[in-house]
Structure 1
Amino acid sequence: MSTPPAGISEADWETWPAGARELILSQHEEIELLRSQLTALASELASLRERIGRSSRNSSKPPSSDGLGFKPPERRKGSGRKRGGQQGHPGSGPELLPIERVDEVVEHHPDACRRCGQLLDGIDPEPLRHQVIEIPPITPLVIEHRLHRLVCPCCSTSTCASLPADVEASHYGPRLSALVGLLGSAFPLSFSKTQALLQQLVGVEMSCGAIARVRQRLSAALAEPMAEALDAARRQPVAYVDETGAPTGNADGNNPTGKRGWQWVMVTAVVTVFIQGLSRSTAAAIELLGNAFGGIVVSDRFSAYNHLPVMQRQLCWAHLIRDLVAIAERPGASAEFGAELLGLQQQLFGLWHRYKEGKIDWPALQQSCRPIRQAFETTLQQVVELGYQRGERTPWASTVRTCQQLQKVAGGLWTFLENEGIEPTNNAAERALRQSVIQRKISHGVQSASGAMCRSRLLTVTTTLRQQGRDVWEFLEQAWIAHHRGGVMPSLLSDP
């Protein structure tokens, strides 16, 4: 006896011919199969549409991957005024240099009156000043040291003179070597462009091998400042951290499996430190932060930072906004909840910007943000309670999973409201990594572990010195001299 389909009583079912019942059952099974296939295809289609629609606005994709067809968000309407300085604006043209920096003064006197032609004589106590800044022809200073070998008239032993301690053993002096390092870090030039610039600008010809050797010697000179900077960064109360891909070759045999390589950065109030390795794991994060970091880490939600207590974390809201945009762009209930969460985020940052502009104080910011926090967490809870079926891969399921992940680290979203002086985003770390990303696009990475170490040390020094407003070229020259000739190594922690 077969079970009748839904909607047909057993009494009526038994009165139907056997052939009709078999046909109806087979069609019913086929309909159920087609329904399940349609549901799966609809879920797959929605997933594919979401994947196609991913951009830098709703995912972690970089803006450079958006493509030509991507429509950026509408920009705010202009003020209607013309470009450039407005009437009444004081302007920011070139200022006159102080007289002590003037190398030559040329006096110009009028010969006769411009009206009647009367000859003129005298000196204007406050003449109009016009300065012309020019670069003199740059030629390298080449000093040849001749080491004479003399034969003793008594014992016939030949003795050769030695280079003085203050003479560079390399073919390239400290200032030129510092420039070579500068062109590969603060100014991310490839080896070929460094060659061309040195030859055209200063008249020095260097091979790629010579440039590499100079940078390796400079890297050795920066080992002490690098260790000093890393130690100081680990003792700071707040650190902004991030990581990006950094291709590393196997020229020295240290990367036989061809791992991608990663550049890590830690930005603090006093120094910015870069470390490049072959891992993007928790161990790599600990290598950067140290085993006993006691400050607050501002980062994205990458799992490598999950070893830290939530109270020590501030999750980046810039990354979170992209997730909220992705939720709002999904169909159905996701769009409704996403729009609500985005609205709360906009209220939050509206208050934050008012605080940064000095329009409200710290207690007012905290008090005003409490209801926003409560509403945000309540909305997350509502999404999670609606739930989804296990194994489901629909846009709604993605929304629930995102909200579940946020609930697990919810405390880390609001650390910036509990501790004054913390930013709600890790934009500082992303800006610091931009230099490394540019180098990656230009040079396609490094070829060895020593090259990775060299790049990290140069980026650490140049970025930190720029952060402090100090002379990078001078620091590199002093570090080179101190390491290779002896002397006091300059400090990255010194006041400018």
Structure 2
Amino acid sequence: MGSAPAGIAEADWQATPVAVRAFIVAQQQENAELRNQLTALATELASLREQVGRSSRNSSKPPSSDGPGFKPPARRKGSGRKRGAQPGHPGSGPELLPIERVDAVVDHHPDACRRCGSLLAGEDPEPLRHQLIEIPPIAPVVTEHRLHRLVCPCCSTSTCATLPADVDASSYGPRLSALVGLLGSAFPLSVSKTQALLDQLLGVAISRGAIAAIRQRLSAALAQPMVQALEAARRQPVAYVDETGAPTGNADGGNPSGKRGWQWVMVTPVVTVFVQGLSRSAAAAMELLGHGFGGIVVSDRFSAYNHLPSQQRQLCWAHLIRDLRAIAERSGASAEVGHQLLELQHQLFGCWHRYREGRIDWSGLQHSSRPIRQAFVATLQRVVDLGCNRGERTPWASTVRTCQQLLQRSDALWTFLTTEGIEPTNNAAERALRQSVIQRKISHGVQSRQGAICRSRLLTVTTTLRQQGRDVWQFLEQAWIAHHRGGVMPSLLPAL
């Protein structure tokens, strides 16, 4: 039966009957199998618990996916006072418009003294001002162009008049067309709600097909400003980049394989550009950034950006914090490491906020954050050194893999501390994508590649002009006129 099991003397083992020895060996084998099964089940249970516990605070899931059972972090205890202005607050009414915006002035004078009844006369040099703002009845202006066909008295040839160059062949003018584009981008209404609003507010009955056609014509008008904006974005020193799913149909044959579609965004100090494609890959990221992009890219740890060197990247700490929370919520050594890293992150952002508030300068930020950075990297290295078995699927193995990924891109964690003007999070890109996500939830995506291009161009225009504080409706109207009637195309770049 072989040598004696651990804990049993060899002489005693040899003196044990053969049947008993066989039974003991069988029991030991069964115990080993049960231990392996128990370990596998415990690992699976821990993994399932982690999946069930995933939320917007410890993963990349959006807040809207948090179920009804999700308990958000405890908020700061309220003061017990009612919401709004407190007693003694001076308050503020609606702002008075300047006098040049006032269409009519009506003066009101008291007739008699409120105390003795004596008649009053004269003018108050500084009367109390009350402005009443009202909207006049809205009605569309319809101009009918009649093209007469006349017959030549000499040769009997009929000749029909043509529309002047400044009259659109479309049934809808530039301002109305710009409004249709505006209601599908800056104000993300569905086609049916756009249709209802135009009918109820303006008295314009318009079909769903006409709305789609107007937006396609508007998309063609925005092609030149879009190219100009993308070229300008690729020349900027920093770009905040992100992507989200954007379902794309195959109504025009542009997506025969039925790919999901992705909306990419690049936020820069000058412009914000949206590009929708059918891929979420390194090639798609390079197509957005351009092959010669020399600035710094702020993004999450998605592998599509790994073609960039570390000195050209800043990893988003908002994403990283969620990963650290996930580590801290695991059991055993993972929880200890997670809490250590979260504490170091808290100290780091304490320094960052003091810098943003002007309490320390740039050199002070670098000096105070240096020991935190060293401790953070040392903690990651300690976890990687402890390691785990290759292919292991335990919570600890997940922690080790996360730390390995962070160490591989460690330099990209601290770019905001070495290059002034870089934000440590990718929040700007995520905020910009929110509009696209809302439209996706409302309309469930677009039905064609041309629809995807149209949506990207409208989002680029509306987001960029809002960023610059410019009038979106006026820009769309000018772009429509310049494209269909000729003239100077407006630019998305800010005036120098």
Look up the match of 1:258: 258
Higher mean displacement: 213-222 or 391-400 = 391-400
**Structure 1 residue 145 corresponds to structure 2 residue 149:** no
- Structure 1 CA distance, aligned partners of 2:398 and 2:79? 41
The aligned runs of 1:476-495 (5 Å cut-off) are: 476-495=476-495
- Structure 2 CA distance, aligned partners of 1:92 and 1:341? 46
**Structure 1 residue 405 corresponds to structure 2 residue 381:** no
Kept after mapping to 1: 8 A contact 2:265/2:429? yes
Kept after mapping to 1: 8 A contact 2:219/2:454? yes
Look up the match of 2:308: 308
- Structure 1 CA distance, aligned partners of 2:82 and 2:13? 82
**Structure 1 residue 332 corresponds to structure 2 residue 332:** yes
> Deviation digits for residues 114-156 of structure 1, max 9, x if unmatched?
2222222222222211100000000000000011111111211
One-letter identity of the residue aligned with 2:231: D
Deviation at 1:87, TM superposition (A): 5.0
Look up the match of 1:177: 177
Relative to the length of structure 1, the TM-score reads 0.98
Deviation at 1:494, TM superposition (A): 3.2
- Structure 1 CA distance, aligned partners of 2:164 and 2:442? 40
Deviation at 1:79, TM superposition (A): 4.0
Look up the match of 1:230: 230
The aligned runs of 1:401-440 (5 Å cut-off) are: 401-440=401-440
- Structure 2 CA distance, aligned partners of 1:91 and 1:458? 39
User: Measured at CA, do residues 365 and 489 of structure 1 come closer, stay the same or move farther in structure 2, by a change above 3 Å?
Assistant: same
Deviation at 1:77, TM superposition (A): 2.3
**Structure 1 residue 128 corresponds to structure 2 residue 128:** yes
Gaps in structure 1 of 5+ consecutive residues: none
* Partner SS state of residue 242, structure 1: strand
Deviation at 1:86, TM superposition (A): 3.8
* Partner SS state of residue 274, structure 1: strand
Deviation at 1:391, TM superposition (A): 1.7
One-letter identity of the residue aligned with 1:194: T
- Structure 2 CA distance, aligned partners of 1:78 and 1:352? 27
* Partner SS state of residue 110, structure 1: coil
Look up the match of 1:110: 110
- Structure 2 CA distance, aligned partners of 1:92 and 1:145? 51
Deviation at 1:80, TM superposition (A): 4.3
- Structure 1 CA distance, aligned partners of 2:259 and 2:420? 40
The aligned runs of 1:56-71 (5 Å cut-off) are: 56-71=56-71
- Structure 2 CA distance, aligned partners of 1:86 and 1:357? 27
Kept after mapping to 1: 8 A contact 2:274/2:459? yes
**Structure 1 residue 241 corresponds to structure 2 residue 250:** no
Q: Count residues in correspondence.
A: 496
The aligned runs of 1:28-67 (5 Å cut-off) are: 28-67=28-67
- Structure 2 CA distance, aligned partners of 1:238 and 1:494? 17
Look up the match of 1:190: 190
> Deviation digits for residues 296-345 of structure 1, max 9, x if unmatched?
00000000000000000000000000000000010001111110000000
Kept after mapping to 1: 8 A contact 2:468/2:494? no
> Deviation digits for residues 405-439 of structure 1, max 9, x if unmatched?
00000000000000011100000000000000000
User: Measured at CA, do residues 91 and 289 of structure 1 come closer, stay the same or move farther in structure 2, by a change above 3 Å?
Assistant: farther
- Structure 2 CA distance, aligned partners of 1:168 and 1:254? 29
Deviation at 1:157, TM superposition (A): 1.3
- Structure 1 CA distance, aligned partners of 2:463 and 2:250? 27
* Partner SS state of residue 122, structure 2: coil
Deviation at 1:110, TM superposition (A): 1.6
Look up the match of 2:201: 201
- Structure 1 CA distance, aligned partners of 2:183 and 2:92? 29
**Structure 1 residue 359 corresponds to structure 2 residue 352:** no
- Structure 2 CA distance, aligned partners of 1:42 and 1:444? 40
One-letter identity of the residue aligned with 2:479: A
* Partner SS state of residue 421, structure 2: coil
- Structure 2 CA distance, aligned partners of 1:215 and 1:276? 16
- Structure 1 CA distance, aligned partners of 2:87 and 2:98? 28
- Structure 1 CA distance, aligned partners of 2:411 and 2:88? 49
4+ long deviations beyond 3 Å: 79-82, 86-92
Deviation at 1:489, TM superposition (A): 0.2
Look up the match of 1:85: 85
Deviation at 1:90, TM superposition (A): 5.2
* Partner SS state of residue 264, structure 2: strand
- Structure 1 CA distance, aligned partners of 2:287 and 2:94? 46
One-letter identity of the residue aligned with 2:418: E
* Partner SS state of residue 84, structure 1: coil
* Partner SS state of residue 464, structure 2: helix
- Structure 2 CA distance, aligned partners of 1:212 and 1:13? 87
User: Measured at CA, do residues 131 and 201 of structure 1 come closer, stay the same or move farther in structure 2, by a change above 3 Å?
Assistant: same
Look up the match of 1:388: 388
One-letter identity of the residue aligned with 1:403: C
* Partner SS state of residue 60, structure 2: coil
> Deviation digits for residues 3-56 of structure 1, max 9, x if unmatched?
322112222211111111111111111111111111111111111111111111
Look up the match of 2:21: 21
> Deviation digits for residues 239-284 of structure 1, max 9, x if unmatched?
0000000000111122122111100000000100000011000011
User: Measured at CA, do residues 297 and 191 of structure 1 come closer, stay the same or move farther in structure 2, by a change above 3 Å?
Assistant: same
* Partner SS state of residue 422, structure 1: coil
Gaps in structure 2 of 5+ consecutive residues: none
Kept after mapping to 1: 8 A contact 2:270/2:494? no
Look up the match of 1:341: 341
Higher mean displacement: 293-302 or 48-57 = 48-57
Q: Alignment RMSD, CA only?
A: 1.2
Higher mean displacement: 109-118 or 187-196 = 109-118
Look up the match of 2:297: 297
Higher mean displacement: 233-242 or 256-265 = 256-265
Deviation at 1:88, TM superposition (A): 5.5
- Structure 1 CA distance, aligned partners of 2:285 and 2:93? 46
Q: Percent identity between the aligned chains?
A: 81
- Structure 1 CA distance, aligned partners of 2:270 and 2:207? 36
User: Measured at CA, do residues 92 and 263 of structure 1 come closer, stay the same or move farther in structure 2, by a change above 3 Å?
Assistant: farther
- Structure 1 CA distance, aligned partners of 2:307 and 2:343? 31
One-letter identity of the residue aligned with 2:339: A
- Structure 2 CA distance, aligned partners of 1:187 and 1:178? 12
- Structure 2 CA distance, aligned partners of 1:69 and 1:484? 54
> Deviation digits for residues 354-378 of structure 1, max 9, x if unmatched?
1111111110000000000000000
* Partner SS state of residue 205, structure 1: coil
Kept after mapping to 1: 8 A contact 2:237/2:296? yes
- Structure 2 CA distance, aligned partners of 1:121 and 1:427? 62
User: Measured at CA, do residues 70 and 363 of structure 1 come closer, stay the same or move farther in structure 2, by a change above 3 Å?
Assistant: same
